[in-house]
Amino acid sequence: MKSFFTLAIFLFSYIFSASGQSNVLPSFGIIPAPELVNMQPTKGPSLNRIRVFLPLEVRNPFLESLIQTTPGIEISASLDQSDVDWKRDNKLSSEAYLIKVTKKKILIKAGSSAGFQHAVISLIQMLTHHGLPLPQGIIEDRPTFAYRGMHLDVGRYFFSVEDVKKYLDYMAYYKYNHFHWHLTEDQGWRIEIKKYPRLQEVAAWRKETLVGHYNDQPQTFDGKKYGGYYSQEEVREIVRYAAERNITVVPEIEMPGHALAAIAAYPELGCGSGPYEVGTKWGIYDDVFCPNETTFAFLEDVIDEIVPLFPGKYIHIGGDECPKTAWKNSPFCQELMKKEGLKDEHALQSYFITRMEKYINAKGKQIIGWDEILEGGLAPNATVMSWRGIEGGVAAANENHEVIMTPTSFCYFDYYQSESPDEPLAIGGYLPMDQVYHWNPVPESLPVDKQKYIIGGQANVWTEYIPDYSKIEYMVYARAMAMSEVLWSKKKDYASFLPRFVSHQQLWKAKGANVANHIYDLKPVIKAGDGKPVRISFSVPQGASIAHSINGREDKALASGEEVRIEHSGNHIFTTMHSKGSGRPLELLFDLHYGTGADISINPGPSPKYSGNGPGSIINGVKGTIEKYGGTEWLGFEGTDPVITLDFKKDLNFNYIETLFFKAEGQWIYLPREIEVSMSDDGVNYKRIAGIKNIGTHDKIADVRFTPHQAHGRYMRFTIKNYGVIPEGKQGAGHRAWLFMDEIIIY
């Protein structure tokens, strides 16, 4: 093991010195960056080998093994021989620590075992990424947020005890302190409950699994039985292992939705008559727990077995994505709603959650629920996990409830991290590392006195498209470094983070981990829609330039931030060139049409989450790709009916109009109900020239074309009607559908 680390350090110092840069990394290589680093590289005499004696309250196999595998530090048998002095300082806040390095000694102060652990890890990271001699001076550090979580869905795919331990090791290395273990799903129940053996025999197994993406048509399956579960003994082992790393495990037992596996094992838990089978594809199922006494007795029994396994204060009860179809169709539910004075099925969900909360509170635990638990009234002591955006979190904090922020657009590590077509299959979306890094978990709209209710944030790792641990490494390890700094560090600076990231990435690679490398992938900023020619620019890490070819012919290279006009239609290829590595080529097929020089306005505008490079993204000459609705091309409208106006600045004649719409109903993205195109000479009086209702397609993209005869005018207007409310039984039922569109092409 030691040789891997040595190799990593060698590689890294080579790369840095080869590029003529300093060997000293910002924050001496520590991720997340400490609050205060007042240290200077050592010049004079210094420790050239660190011997460390771990006192009892600091000693555990995790830190011992980290020390044993780090060059330059070793365990000593007694305090007399230790170069490290330990001091407990109860004035330091929970998890805070101080490291003071002098010529001869290292002093570590902390007020808790977590604080000591964080200090040792910072020291280890300095040794790994900076090396001996250690710099001299002081580090003072403490976390910004008390809750720093990473989630893992083991329902869609099952991850072994060894995998989970690797995850926990990674978490501890980056100072995360809560492991949200998503244990039950439609596609598998993964925790042994002794009173209900059919959970192990039936609910833990599915007969087969969907192949490819949920949105692929027709859907196909692999025909292979799949499953697994953790015995209670294994759960205790994981909880112990986590505790040794100062990580609290938050178990999630989903209710009332995402419960098909349990219902397949015990059909009396459903509202219908069955038969039920464990889910074989992703998404949302209509069969959910029925709020009858059998279900409550079952769930209370489950909680009775869960509580002694998990010493932490939280039990997560899910609460998300619970379709109300089964409850609407159930005479029992309708009768119950009358009896309890519940005005609708949302109130019934609130009744369900509140009743379970009371039971769980009586056991001395607190519930966490996804933000849907706000609908129909928030259970009195619940902590809310805000995932569909920040609105749920803001509402809950305004009601003085604690909130953990996990909005999809910053926290969903199952999303794509690059626009490259070479990316392995993912659920969709687009969440590059720099977007994670620039997130602030405290919403600006929250009044100052309510901000304290945001106790932290969390990276969510849903595994529909993550069947093994290597892909976890790929999807998670890079972005979770960025997230650790969001949740821990007071001062963030992406330019300071990047070289530390590269150093850590080399380390993980040397250990064999499949860490993604997207920092040299290009993210284009294409400007259009302002009446000027289309321009493109990129920012790339310092020292890099961008090669450019057009239809196979080499063109002038670009500097970082330099804007160039796109003057020719055709295949443009851009590649980062850097001494530390080049990125994957970015291929953009530009089709310059009448629209690419127009002025554009869109009312109401796209959601800030999916606003591309501004409204001009839909007339920039580049079509959105078929797999990803995130990224810089597609504009996404959350439930609104956009009116798009183009001003060509002069009267033009057209005979061809094409618009593209993305369809991914699994991700709540629907085709529009209606599109109308009209023209005007004065920008006031518009005349309809084309239109369509009921667009249908079996593909992921609907390509809508009009061929108006001899149309002309200076202004063109598209009036687009969103699909409306998503029907029951579909993903996102009850919400207004998203509308995604990209290029409007005009000839």
Residues within the interface to ligand ACM (CB under 6 A):
320-321, 370, 387
Nearest to ligand ACM of 185, 485 (CB atom)? 185
Q: How far apart are the first and last CA of the chain?
A: 62
User: Please, what is the minimum distance in Å from the beta carbon of residue 462 to ligand ACM?
Assistant: 6
Beta strand extents in 272-407 (DSSP E only)? 314-318, 366-370, 383-386, 403-405
Question: Is residue 373 within 8 Å of residue 393, measured between CB atoms?
Answer: no
Q: Write the single-letter amino acid at 364.
A: G
Please state the closest distance from residue 654 (CB atom) to ligand ACM, in A: 43
| Under 8 Å between Cβ of 544 and 576 | yes
* Sign of the alpha-carbon dihedral angle for 106, 107, 111, 113: positive
Sheet holding 84-88, edge to edge: 36-40, 136-141, 97-101, 106-110, 84-88
**C-alpha span between 281 and 206 (Å, rounded):** 10
The three-state secondary structure class of 615 is helix
Give least dist CB 412 to ligand ACM, A.
7
Q: Which is nearer to ligand ACM, 321 or 419 (CB)?
A: 321
Minimum gap (Å) between residue 418 Cβ and ligand ACM: 22
For ligand ACM, which is the closer residue by CB, 387 or 501? 387
> In degrees rounded to 5, what are phi and psi of residue 152?
-145, 125
Strand 657-662, strand 738-746: pairing: antiparallel
Q: Which is nearer to ligand ACM, 198 or 736 (CB)?
A: 736
Residue 387 or 738: which CB sits closer to ligand ACM? Answer: 387
Q: Least distance to ligand ACM from the beta carbon of 222, Å?
A: 24
Least Å from the CB of residue 408 to ligand ACM: 7
The least CB distance from residue 701 to ligand ACM, in Å, is 25
Tell me whether residue 67 or residue 726 sits nearer to ligand ACM (CB atom).
726
Q: Which of residues 174 and 413 has its CB atom nearest to ligand ACM in the complex?
A: 413
Residue closer to ligand ACM, measured from CB, 175 or 182: 182
What count of other Cβ atoms lies within 10 Å of the Cβ of residue 83? 17
Closest CB 301 distance from ligand ACM, rounded Å: 25
| 3 state SS of 211 | strand
Min CB(9)–ligand ACM separation in Å: 39
C-alpha distances (whole Å) from 71 to each of 78, 133, 558, 671 are: 20, 12, 42, 58
CA 297, 301, 302, 306 dihedral sign is positive
**Count of CB atoms within 10 A of residue 195's CB?**
10
* Minimum distance from residue 501 beta carbon to ligand ACM (Å): 26
In the bound complex, what is the minimum distance in angstroms from residue 275's beta carbon to ligand ACM? 26
* Nearer Cβ to ligand ACM (84/476): 476
Nearer to ligand ACM, 163 or 320 (CB): 320
| Phi then psi dihedrals of residue 148, to 5 deg | -125, 100
**Strand 314-318 relative to strand 366-370, pairing:** parallel
Which CB, 320 or 530, lies closer to ligand ACM?
320
Residue nearest to ligand ACM (CB): 320
Q: In 696-732, which positions are buried (b, 16+ CB within 10 angstroms) versus exposed (e)?
A: eeeebbbebebeeeebebbbbbbbbebbeebeeebbb
DSSP state of 744: E
CA 468, distance to chain mean position in Å, is 18
